[in-house]
Amino acid sequence: MPYHTHLDQILKPILDDVGHYNWLLADLEYTSTFSDKIPVDMDQDYFILAPEEFAELLKADLQIWWGVILGIHPGVEVMVNENNLPFAEGNDQIWMNGNLQYPDAAIEIVCFDSSYTIVKFTDEQLSGKFYTYFPEAIELEKL
Tens digit of pLDDT for each residue in 108-142? Answer: 999 988 878 999 999 999 999 999 999 988 887 76
What are 17's strand-pairing partners? none
Of 65 and 6, more confident: 65
| Contact between 38 and 57 (Cβ < 8 Å) | yes
The pLDDT, as a whole number, for residue 3 is 61
H-run or E-run covering 58:
helix 51-58
E-strand spans in 2-112?
A: 22-32, 46-49, 62-72, 105-112
| Contact between 63 and 8 (Cβ < 8 Å) | no
The string of pLDDT tens digits covering residues 18-71 is 999 999 999 888 776 666 666 666 667 898 999 998 888 888 777 888 999 999
CA-nearest of 94, 121, 107, 131 to 54 is 107
The pLDDT, as a whole number, for residue 122 is 93
Please state the pTM of the whole predicted model: 0.90
